[in-house]
Structure 1
């Protein structure tokens, strides 16, 4: 009887026990969820701090090294605290600023040390850069920020011997807004890279169909007319800004493709044979491929043709590391009279047959005007118009 009664009491206690256990489990589950949410928030905060430090640490490290050097000696040609500014120069490399009581040194020219070659990787590079296009930009500001740049957009490092002389060529028409930002960012980058350079804007005259590659061929010849010592040529679209100044604008043993990862492609190479945006060839490499094709009117195709020319002439394309070769593009609408070229796919397939007769050797154009502006040299040219398309019968 007692056992039966106890057994009945045990069974009657199960429902409240089960409810208590359920509440306990629910409490434990909620506690775990709260801990997981807190952990995720903490992890998110840590990741943000790491990214923030990764962008700015190199700036801080550069400035600390800069200040440390200045405590021991005066170096008038080092960069100021902002990547896009320059410090005033006082004279020849290594010279101290003049003081009112200083007497002229008649033996200066005798005791001056000869300049040494510029470093392969200059010590003043910043690394990753913050690139934005929301702040208003003007040519007056660009000129103010770059007082050491000579008329025509030319610059030579004053404290070392540059390893190459680089002509930077930009095909252009109706992109004044983009040009201001390009000059604002690129002049300081190139100076920190210790590049001897000149910037040439190749402006297509008139409103006929745009021809990017032909304009670059013109830029090659006109830059050499201006200075025959150019031995490296970099071809850049005006709307692309490098996000890291360790992406060195110079020529290499093989043709160079600089714009490896654009933001519009998710910072990835869209395909293995891509050679668009920003590229560089030495004078000998450019002549070896007979320059760029002249018959790509409108948008698209010429970059693939150039890649084919490089490969067919036994050369390979070199690229920077994907983490360094990143670019931001200034967003814009498709230019008028630069619609996609419907013949580009057929032309790309025939590169082997056309590259010897279509290129720098067959280039024809009319020079309209050469104008030397404070931050660049403008070359306006008339390059003709595309031949009429045959009607399909």
Structure 2
């Protein structure tokens, strides 16, 4: 009896071992085919990517491109009399939309003004920027057509400064260059962003980029602040009738713009305070840019003035347009402030 029970037990153990071995074999085969399939997918994608890279670009698409090559080094180019092979057709893979967040961003940037930065160095470090400060991504389709060209709007003469009016000029002059621009970034020339994740593009709501400047202790000075660097789509800009033209001297125009946005049913969007940081190039306040004593009264009257004062009423005289390697300099005459009424 004891031997019989022992035999039955050994038989069951053998069956269990065989079952485990079979199960192990099945699992190994599944893993093997899964890894094999992954390798096939990887190599197919790798070959497709390499194939797309060898498609030729025309010289006109890249200003710094070299002449096309004709096979191995030292090979002779085809003779003019040689007939092309009409049976071959070259089809380039269509470009895909650019990523929402570009690759290669580093985040926080070290911005120092201790050593000078020459325009020659800026040009060397940005070889893909063409004359006038224009750039187009070579490997993807931009989701927006930001007015990039970089346009510097310079006020002609020595009359009282008018920042908002110059920004209006920038909007119209950029559209003269390319009427398909649909996004506009307005920036003071003395502000440098400290984080490359602060993407200069337009959003569903008007964008205020310069959330924290070093002169304000990297904090937003007040909730309605819209100064420094801002971005609006073409439709948003036209909806508020652009910027006011009647703020001569320093201050007030940013608050007027904030009011225009609010009064037209929009809200200001901002990046995170840790990303929207800027350093200001230290300088003395320009002459003819003294504080505007009428700014507080004008801010209170935005609702009444914004329909008649803005891009629809802008007047200026174009003095000069100069295309530089990294930017376009536009000099305009914008007039002078109306005489103030004498107090009686």
Using the size of structure 2 for normalisation, the TM-score is 0.75
Q: Give the structure, 1 or 2, with the largest relative contact order (CA under 8 Å, sep 6 or more).
A: 2
Query: Do the aligned partners of 2:145 and 2:183 also contact (CA within 8 Å) in 1?
Result: no
> Cα–Cα, structure 1 residues 35 and 98, in superposed 2: closer, same or farther, change >3 Å?
farther
Gaps of 5+ in 1: 1-20, 163-191
> Cα–Cα, structure 1 residues 200 and 149, in superposed 2: closer, same or farther, change >3 Å?
same
| TM-superposition CA deviations, 1:149-193 (whole Å, max 9, x none) | 11010000001001xxxxxxxxxxxxxxxxxxxxxxxxxxxxx99
Whole-angstrom CA distance in 2 between matches of 1:323 and 1:285: 26
- The CA deviation at 1:112 is 2.1
- The CA deviation at 1:197 is 2.0
Whole-angstrom CA distance in 2 between matches of 1:334 and 1:30: 97
> Cα–Cα, structure 1 residues 95 and 157, in superposed 2: closer, same or farther, change >3 Å?
farther
User: What's the counterpart of residue 101 of structure 2?
Assistant: 121
User: What's the counterpart of residue 194 of structure 2?
Assistant: 243
Q: 1:49 aligns with which of 25, 29, 39?
A: 29
User: What's the counterpart of residue 204 of structure 1?
Assistant: 155
Query: Do the aligned partners of 2:156 and 2:331 also contact (CA within 8 Å) in 1?
Result: yes
> Cα–Cα, structure 1 residues 379 and 25, in superposed 2: closer, same or farther, change >3 Å?
farther
Query: Do the aligned partners of 1:77 and 1:87 also contact (CA within 8 Å) in 2?
Result: no
Q: The residue matched to 2:59 in structure 1 has which SS?
A: coil
> Cα–Cα, structure 1 residues 193 and 284, in superposed 2: closer, same or farther, change >3 Å?
closer
Q: The residue matched to 2:12 in structure 1 has which SS?
A: helix
- 152-161 vs 62-71, which moves further: 62-71
> Cα–Cα, structure 1 residues 196 and 58, in superposed 2: closer, same or farther, change >3 Å?
farther
Q: The residue matched to 2:103 in structure 1 has which SS?
A: coil
Query: Do the aligned partners of 2:147 and 2:181 also contact (CA within 8 Å) in 1?
Result: no
| TM-superposition CA deviations, 1:330-382 (whole Å, max 9, x none) | 11111111111111001000000100010001111001111111111111100
Whole-angstrom CA distance in 2 between matches of 1:54 and 1:301: 65
Query: Do the aligned partners of 2:226 and 2:257 also contact (CA within 8 Å) in 1?
Result: yes
Query: In angstroms, what is the RMSD of aligned CA positions?
Result: 14.2
Whole-angstrom CA distance in 1 between matches of 2:24 and 2:222: 33
Query: Do the aligned partners of 1:93 and 1:159 also contact (CA within 8 Å) in 2?
Result: no
Q: The residue matched to 1:284 in structure 2 has which SS?
A: helix
- The CA deviation at 1:80 is 24
Using the size of structure 1 for normalisation, the TM-score is 0.66
- The CA deviation at 1:263 is 0.8
How many residues are paired up? 344
- The CA deviation at 1:316 is 0.3
Whole-angstrom CA distance in 2 between matches of 1:334 and 1:85: 44
- 326-335 vs 80-89, which moves further: 80-89
Q: The residue matched to 1:109 in structure 2 has which SS?
A: coil
- 46-55 vs 310-319, which moves further: 46-55
- Please say if 1:278 is aligned against 2:240: no
Whole-angstrom CA distance in 1 between matches of 2:190 and 2:6: 57
Query: Do the aligned partners of 1:85 and 1:146 also contact (CA within 8 Å) in 2?
Result: no
Q: The residue matched to 2:121 in structure 1 has which SS?
A: helix
Whole-angstrom CA distance in 2 between matches of 1:88 and 1:23: 88
- The CA deviation at 1:111 is 3.5
Q: The residue matched to 2:312 in structure 1 has which SS?
A: helix
- The CA deviation at 1:75 is 13
- The CA deviation at 1:84 is 19
> Cα–Cα, structure 1 residues 204 and 106, in superposed 2: closer, same or farther, change >3 Å?
farther
Q: The residue matched to 1:279 in structure 2 has which SS?
A: strand
- 83-92 vs 259-268, which moves further: 83-92
> Cα–Cα, structure 1 residues 108 and 43, in superposed 2: closer, same or farther, change >3 Å?
closer
Q: The residue matched to 1:197 in structure 2 has which SS?
A: coil
User: What's the counterpart of residue 94 of structure 1?
Assistant: 74
Gaps of 5+ in 2: none
Whole-angstrom CA distance in 1 between matches of 2:49 and 2:136: 23
Query: Do the aligned partners of 2:109 and 2:194 also contact (CA within 8 Å) in 1?
Result: yes
Whole-angstrom CA distance in 2 between matches of 1:136 and 1:258: 25
Query: Do the aligned partners of 2:260 and 2:306 also contact (CA within 8 Å) in 1?
Result: yes
Query: Do the aligned partners of 1:77 and 1:158 also contact (CA within 8 Å) in 2?
Result: no
Q: The residue matched to 1:154 in structure 2 has which SS?
A: coil
- The CA deviation at 1:247 is 0.4
- The CA deviation at 1:39 is 62
